[in-house]
Chains A and B, each alone.
Chain A
Amino acid sequence: MIRFSHVSKEYPRTGLALKDVSFRLAKGEFAFLTGPSGAGKSTILKLVTMEERPTSGEVRVSGVLGTQIRRAEIPKLRRKLGVVFQDFRLLDDRTAEQNVAFALEVTGTSRSAIPSRVSRLLTQVGLASKGTSYPRELSGGEQQRVAIARALVNDPMVLIADEPSGNLDERATRGIFQLLREINASGTAVLMATHNLELVRRHEYRVIEINRGQLVYDSAESSPAGAGSPPAG
């Protein structure tokens, strides 16, 4: 579903960000993407959402080749991906419901179908009673739940999470992670970039580790079962 084949990415000013990275993420899989800051995690996620194009190599997402996609087709691809960020990226002047509904409106969903879908998603992320709250009235964990609900509106095949618990306390982190597991259990693949090695160690999911732009460890490669030992340190 996501396939990187010998992908390198070079930025004109900062130089090489990724060097010869290859991995695959299968349908319904859960994988952590770890590594220190500046290792290239965000570059990988940007290549997946096609915000960036590889300098060399091939990025294939849901059968679409990153080097060949036309600009006009990118929005259609993004609708198949759900993306959440560390800073939530909610629209501050819209309620939780409106934030989620916005993602549906943008994609031209019929007006009548929107309210029921929004309330179903907010229930799924545990915010059924907070639909009319504005982001500033919600805790960090709740804001991230709204962002996740928004990421799920179009039933994505894969949820891309860039440090989703980076701004959250221990308890909220656990809650968000639990939610991501539930989403994965219902069939959506999850690719989660994180610093939180504790979290990575505690769960037996696949780990892809990036360092200085290179893939240094992939638990799926070291043990074909896909549940290898997480990296040390």
Chain B
Amino acid sequence: MMRLTVREVMLGLRRAPLLSILSIITIAFSLFALGLFGLVALNVSRALRGIEERVEIRAFITDGAPIEAVAAAVGDIRAFPEVARVDIITPEEALARARKELTEFKDVFDAAFLPMSLEIRLKPGHRDPATVRAVAERLKTYTFVDDVRYGEEWVQKLYSIRNIAGATGLVLGIAFAVVAIIIIGSTIRMTVLARAREISIMRLVGATDGFVRRPFLIDGFLKGVLGGLVALALAWFAHSLIDRYLIQTAFFASGTALLGIVGGGLIGLLGSAVSVGRHLRDV
């Protein structure tokens, strides 16, 4: 049965090579458009994540606070579920850092007037304004904490940019995927219509719906996978050009790329299933 199906698939490809190539190209470009959008989304989200990692809370320690109490508190804070790491910044470290970051004032600074502080970084997923504020408020309850700063306005802005980017990405991504599915579906429908006579003959001699459907499903899957591979090559090429001449960008991880190809195959398979199913129902 499998041998027969494979033969029918090959026959179909051989019978209409131009249509087959056209379908593969159509699928490839639909997926390429989706892939380009994916690359933009990937790079934007990476950039945002990079910025997000810089969300930190700084708790300044009052002068003369007992070091044991601070050390115990650091242990406490590390155990907060939102907290990724806590670093103690001594006045000397703070000075070194200030001199490095603000070189034009490097002679003005003196370790004596820089307080000791705790630098707290949060885990991914806990960097939204509400969580940041909640952690900051909890830090304020320690008696030896003099002041807590975390750039409230900045976190707020970053968070809303992230939300807008996420929502836009989701909507556009769905739109791109739907368009790709529709284009691929109609391409496959053309293949089915081109072979309508053959399908009617198959049914005439007693072929089951499954028998008629199988070669089309394999055909659709193969075209989807081939289209996916071409789309990946195009996306890689586009990425290389942008990376070399415009800005440094990241490309899909190999797992994501593989997922894209399999996705192409699945769209092809689904498109075929729908087209043939509709055709079989109509005749």
Contact = CB atoms under 8 A, between A and B. Distances in A.
Interface string B196-220: 0110111111111101000000000
B200 A78 contact: no
Contacts of B49: none
B4 interface: yes
Contacts of A49: 204
A154 B206 contact: yes
Given A105-B4, A108-B1, A89 B201 contact: yes
Contact of A78 (B11, B198, B203, B211): B203
A71 B208 CA distance: 9
Contacts, number: 42
A91 interface: yes
B15 interface: yes
Interface in A74-95: 75-76, 78-79, 83, 89-91, 93
Contact of B198 (A75, A76, A91): A91
A102 B199 CA distance: 12
Contacts of B211: 106
Given A89-B200, A108-B1, A103 B205 contact: yes
Please report whether the interface of chain B is mostly helix, strand, loop or mixed according to DSSP.
helix
Contacts of B200: 89
B206 A103 contact: yes
A107 B208 CA distance: 8
A107 B209 contact: no
B8 to A, nearest CB: 9
A60 interface: no
A206 B61 CA distance: 111
B201 A75 contact: no
Interface in B168-203: 197-198, 200-203
B198 A150 contact: no
A75 B1 contact: no
A29 to B, nearest CB: 22
Nearest to A87: B197
Contacts of B11: 93
A89 B201 CA distance: 7
A99 B4 CA distance: 14
A145 to B, nearest CB: 16
A154 B204 CA distance: 12
Given A71-B209, A105-B4, A106-B211, A91 B201 contact: yes
Contacts of B207: 75, 106-107
Contact of B204 (A76, A78, A107, A108): A78
B208 A72 contact: yes
Interface string A114-137: 000000000000000000000000
A197 B207 CA distance: 34
Contacts of B205: 78-79, 102-103, 106-107, 150, 153
Contacts of B204: 49, 78, 83, 89
A106 B202 contact: yes
Contacts of B4: 105
A79 B205 CA distance: 6
Nearest to B208: A75
A72 B15 CA distance: 29
Contacts of B197: 89
Contacts of B201: 89-91
B104 to A, nearest CB: 82
Nearest to A76: B206
A182 B201 CA distance: 25
Contacts of B208: 72, 75
Contacts of A75: 203, 206-209
24 contacts: A49-B204, A71-B209, A72-B208, A72-B209, A75-B203, A75-B208, A75-B209, A76-B206, A78-B204, A78-B205, A78-B206, A79-B206, A89-B197, A89-B201, A90-B201, A91-B198, A91-B201, A102-B205, A106-B206, A106-B207, A106-B211, A107-B205, A107-B207, A150-B205
Given A78-B203, A89-B200, A89-B201, 8 more contacts: A75-B209, A78-B206, A91-B198, A93-B11, A102-B205, A106-B206, A108-B1, A153-B205
